Amino acid sequence: MFGMENKKPKAAKGKKELFLFDLEKELQDKEKQKEYVRRIEGRVTKIKELLRKGSKKEDFDSLGILLNGYHALAIVLGRSAK
């Protein structure tokens, strides 16, 4: 399923290799990690500015949800950095 049926885990000294998502592989590079954090912070700032300006109720709710999603992503990136 999802193109993984042909992949067999490589056993190294009796241990199974953990599956890493593409994002996890990219986050191992410190420069990519900094780039993601910078982009997220920029988008959070832009969303906060839009929320301060005021908007329709539907837009306000959508922007709030999006802001919470970016905040959660920033937390995950921070944890993966450690």
Asked if residue 41 belongs to a domain, the reply is: yes
DSSP codes of every residue in 28-54: TSHHHHHHHHHHHHHHHHHHHHHHHH-
Average pLDDT for 46-68: 88
How many domains does the chain divide into?
1
- Whether residue 48 contacts residue 67, with contact meaning beta carbons closer than 8 Å, is answered with yes
For 35-72, b/e burial (b = at least 16 CB within 10 A) is: ebeeeeeeebeebeeeeeeeeeeeeeeebeeebeebee
Q: pLDDT tens, 7-18?
A: 665 555 666 778
Asked if residue 25 belongs to a domain, the reply is: yes
Determine the pLDDT at residue 47: 92
Asked if residue 11 belongs to a domain, the reply is: no
